[in-house]
Chains A and B, each alone.
Chain A
Amino acid sequence: MLPGLGYFLLFHYGALAGNVIAFKDYVPFDGIWGSPWVGLGNFQRMFQDAEFWDAVLNTLWIAVLQIVFYFPVPLALALLLHTLTWTTVRRFVQSVAYLPHFISWVIVVALFQQVLGDTGLVNGYLGDAALSTVDIIGNPDAFRPLTVAQVIWKDAGWGTIIFLAALSQVDEQQYEAAAIDGAGPWRRFWHVTLPAIRPVIVLLLIMRLGDILSVGFEQMLLQRDAVGPEAAEIIDTFVYYQGMVGGDYGFAAAAGLFKGVIGALLVYAANKVAHRLGEQGVYK
């Protein structure tokens, strides 16, 4: 217990004090206390900054797309895997589906570029066959669906782990009883499987809401130049460009803090809703 507590105190709660630079014009070589206070100046500037709102909007768009199109995929995949009774095949499929999670975003983005890019595999074939080529990579309009596709390819397999664990907890006898009562596969799913794993689904959804404003920093950063900030600037890349690249640390910290507050409020609100609906949520 104690080492864990120490870890959190030092690296999480302690580090939080650094957020104070959001209220300062922070100059690294003057130090935190040597930098002048600017009050809410950084926030004021941020709320008046059109690019910041573009980044917020992009983040929300991508987050919503991910919740709608990505979130159900691991669940579906887990259910599918769960129905496989031949364990050798099941383990093999599971491993293959996990693997992309361990490939870094740099590689994933390069892979997509090599396959779908203007000079990539698909367009190479299409060009050779004198067919019209597809404009996907570097096309801002195709960017949002592309990012969701990338996330599905990379992380859907990984996301099944918790669902599979939950599914394995479902009592086999319930299925048997349901089957004896004449329930088909669909009814067994609806009346046995789903109620059993609902708490996990709700839990993960709430956690996801808390992280809603984090939609893949590396993924976006790597592709931002190709499609431009109008399509690919998210809050995290905005913070990176203002803070790390631009050296405007106080301003960037303000944007990061904004993100954290929204995330905390969303978790709180979603948890309340879950309680109302009789679910356990993340905490009581």
Chain B
Amino acid sequence: MSSTPLSRRALMRTAAVGAVAIAAPVGLTGCSTESRGDGVSNAGKKLAPWPAYKAFAGPKPDLAPTAEGVQPGYTSYPADLARSVSRTPGDGSTVKVMSVSFGTPPKPASANKFWQAVEKALGVKIEYTVISQTDYQKKMATVMAGDPGELPDIINIFSGFALPREAQFVQRRAEDLTPFLSGDAVEDYPNLANIPTHAWRDMGRIGGRIYGIPLERPLPGSTLWLNDEYFEDAGMKEGWTDQDFAAVAKKGTGGKKYALGAAVGSVFGDGFHSAAHGVHARGWSAKSDGTFLPVVADERYKQMLDFQLGLRKAGSYHPDATSISQIDMIALYYNGTVGSLQDGFGGYLPKFLERGRKYTPAPALPYSVGGTPGGIVGARRSFGYTVVKKAKKERVQLLLRILDYLAAPFGSKEWELVHYGVEGTHFTRAEDGSPEPNALGQVENNTNLPLKYLAEGPQALFVPGMPDAVKALHAWQVKTVPHAVRNASYGLQSRTYTDRGTTLETLLKDTATGIIAGRTPLSEWDATVKTWRQRGGDRMAEEFAKDYAANN
């Protein structure tokens, strides 16, 4: 009884609701239009060609990228920064933008020199709606349901959550960018042309058209980040098996320390373990004949659940794994309470830069299962995408020029401004020439003013002042990238997924979490998968297969 006891309003509300319900005509027959929502599918549509890739001729990397997806690595900061944008993109007007954020809110523009410097470079006033990652889903639900006239000019659609009816929303409310970007048209925006095709492809088309600009990400996705020394001490060795992993985790747990950290909603970090078992957690695999199989119905995923249950039973997980937030868990990782946690590969930089830490962060090598070498999580190569509100042609072009500026690649002057601010004001140069944030740069930066989620150039491996870290990460990628396990549904449209995907995913995650936590028997899994199939899983398989066929 959390409401106040005497609530007249509550009474009137309940009574009135009853009255309306009784008055409502029973048996209103549906006149639903089945076609609604099918417009998002790419099947049977003419597909707009992807923007023609044209690489930026910038500084050469010290460690070479590979076609398979190993990133270029820079062991030192490029001495000669290139210019990637020739003229100020803006016209002095005001641009409203909105994106997810993983930092604390920025200081207001009037007191924020970083914000002001970016505004000056872009030639526009920026009104920024910063949405904390924890509020993103709720905020987007209201934005999507709200007045179309009130939408910001530039909206970041973050891929961390499946937003309900996302594709329909984009199709209905956002500008179709095909005429501006498809094929050679992208030439007008050289930094957008420098975004590799794999990122566009994983963003996907909607109804055959291009609606967004992808945020390119490296192939390695969710990664088990180790405290290297912690795991070495517990007996980690290269070429480990699942049994070795379990033994190391058990040995590394004791007192008030736990080898495995996991945050709420991560299903005890099932991404890493699924990939080691050869499947993409709760994703899809495509057979050679084009049929789609859900990973949740794969025996290997169930085996993985059993394995994680064993880890949990052995006490190797931090006990708060079903309730603690990722941010709090990272703090426990930094202070040595937990020896590992699952986080995106792209989050390597803060891990290396974390001050006062006395250990080496390292991405874990996958273990083998029953003699089969494990894989790593193959990420969607687009960490969400950015859409533009419907507008006149000139306005759209201006917004794209702004995004083009923000998408400046590593090794360019524009990249440095957008990532580190102004030399002398926000950073000084270290001996190797890399920018080193000063006190102001610690507060005014693109973590708090998250411009990097509006547009960003393709990512390169670089840790300022730590060439060894770059070499280690590159070497790890060379070893693991060929064994990445991808989700076959990336970039594909399914009406059922966009309508019910979120709820269906919740069903799976809740049950999987319950099984590993030991409160639901493993035998329940098959029944859950059956329910999931009936409620839309099977339809999703058909729709993905159709869209896959249309794209290939």
A and B form one complex: yes
Q: Is the CB of B21 within 8 A of A244?
A: no
Q: Is the CB of B1 within 8 A of A151?
A: yes
A98 to chain B, nearest CB (A): 12
B439 CB–A CB distance under 8 Å = no
The B contact surface, by secondary structure, is helix
Alpha-carbon distance between A203 and B8 when the two chains are bound, in angstroms: 11
| CB-defined contacts of B172 to chain A, threshold 8 Å | 29
**Looking across the interface, which residue of chain A has its beta carbon closest to that of B504?**
A246
| CB-defined contacts of B16 to chain A, threshold 8 Å | 12-13, 16, 264
| CB-defined contacts of B503 to chain A, threshold 8 Å | 241-242, 245-246, 248
* Stretch touching chain B among A19-27, A83-91, A169-177, A181-189: A19-27
Alpha-carbon distance between A8 and B10 when the two chains are bound, in angstroms: 12
In the complex, chain B residues 148-184 whose Cβ is within 8 Å of any chain A Cβ? 148, 163-165, 168-169, 172-173
Alpha-carbon distance between A105 and B502 when the two chains are bound, in angstroms: 26
| CB-defined contacts of B146 to chain A, threshold 8 Å | 28
A36 to chain B, nearest CB (A): 4
A257 CB–B CB distance under 8 Å = yes
| CB-defined contacts of A282 to chain B, threshold 8 Å | 11
B157 to chain A, nearest CB (A): 14
Alpha-carbon distance between A238 and B448 when the two chains are bound, in angstroms: 34
Digit string of B295-327 for contact with A (CB within 8 Å is 1, else 0)?
A: 000000000000000000000001110110000
| CB-defined contacts of A208 to chain B, threshold 8 Å | 1, 5
Q: Is the CB of A155 within 8 A of B30?
A: no
Assess A204 versus B500: contact at CB under 8 Å? Given A140-B519, A245-B506.
Answer: no
Alpha-carbon distance between A231 and B519 when the two chains are bound, in angstroms: 10
Digit string of B130-149 for contact with A (CB within 8 Å is 1, else 0)?
A: 00000001100100111010
Q: Is the CB of A38 within 8 A of B30?
A: yes
| CB-defined contacts of B31 to chain A, threshold 8 Å | 36-37
| CB-defined contacts of B11 to chain A, threshold 8 Å | 207, 210, 267, 282
Digit string of A180-207 for contact with B (CB within 8 Å is 1, else 0)?
A: 0000000000000000000000011001
- The count of A-to-B residue pairs whose CB atoms sit within 8 angstroms is 191
Assess A29 versus B27: contact at CB under 8 Å? Given A19-B20, A211-B1.
Answer: no
Alpha-carbon distance between A43 and B393 when the two chains are bound, in angstroms: 45
In the complex, chain B residues 400-441 whose Cβ is within 8 Å of any chain A Cβ? none
| CB-defined contacts of A118 to chain B, threshold 8 Å | 319-320
Q: Is the CB of A261 within 8 A of B2?
A: no
Alpha-carbon distance between A40 and B517 when the two chains are bound, in angstroms: 38
B346 to chain A, nearest CB (A): 25
Alpha-carbon distance between A21 and B20 when the two chains are bound, in angstroms: 13
Q: Is the CB of A246 within 8 A of B517?
A: no
**Looking across the interface, which residue of chain A has its beta carbon closest to that of B36?**
A36
Q: Interface size bucket, B side?
A: 35 or more
Q: Is the CB of B164 within 8 A of A246?
A: yes
A162 CB–B CB distance under 8 Å = yes
Digit string of A245-283 for contact with B (CB within 8 Å is 1, else 0)?
A: 111100000000100110111011000000000000010
Q: Is the CB of A264 within 8 A of B323?
A: no
Q: Is the CB of B21 within 8 A of A247?
A: no
Q: Which of B18, B320, B323, B517 contacts A260 (CB 8 A)?
A: B18
B12 CB–A CB distance under 8 Å = yes
B32 CB–A CB distance under 8 Å = yes
Digit string of B486-501 for contact with A (CB within 8 Å is 1, else 0)?
A: 0000000000000110
B519 to chain A, nearest CB (A): 5
| CB-defined contacts of A41 to chain B, threshold 8 Å | 30
Q: Is the CB of A28 within 8 A of B144?
A: yes
Alpha-carbon distance between A214 and B10 when the two chains are bound, in angstroms: 10
B514 CB–A CB distance under 8 Å = yes
In the complex, chain A residues 209-238 whose Cβ is within 8 Å of any chain B Cβ? 210-211, 214-216, 218-219, 223, 225-231
Q: Is the CB of A204 within 8 A of B5?
A: yes
B391 CB–A CB distance under 8 Å = no
In the complex, chain A residues 55-84 whose Cβ is within 8 Å of any chain B Cβ? 66, 70-71, 74
In the complex, chain B residues 453-510 whose Cβ is within 8 Å of any chain A Cβ? 499-500, 502-503, 506-507, 510
B182 to chain A, nearest CB (A): 25
| CB-defined contacts of B502 to chain A, threshold 8 Å | 245-247
Known: A208-B5, A244-B141, A248-B503. 6 other contacts (CB 8 A): A37-B32, A227-B322, A228-B514, A228-B517, A230-B520, A246-B164
B residues adjacent to A (C-beta < 8 A): 1-7, 9-21, 24, 26-33, 36, 137-138, 141, 144-146, 148, 163-165, 168-169, 172-173, 256, 264-265, 318-320, 322-323, 499-500, 502-503, 506-507, 510, 513-514, 517, 519-520, 531
Cβ contacts A to B, 18 pairs, < 8 Å: A12-B9, A28-B145, A28-B146, A29-B168, A38-B32, A138-B319, A138-B323, A210-B10, A211-B7, A215-B1, A223-B323, A230-B519, A244-B138, A245-B137, A245-B502, A248-B500, A260-B13, A264-B17
A residues adjacent to B (C-beta < 8 A): 8, 12-13, 16-17, 19-20, 23, 25, 27-30, 36-41, 50-51, 66, 70-71, 74, 105, 113, 117-119, 137-138, 140, 151, 154-155, 158-159, 162, 203-204, 207-208, 210-211, 214-216, 218-219, 223, 225-231, 241-242, 244-248, 257, 260-261, 263-265, 267-268, 282
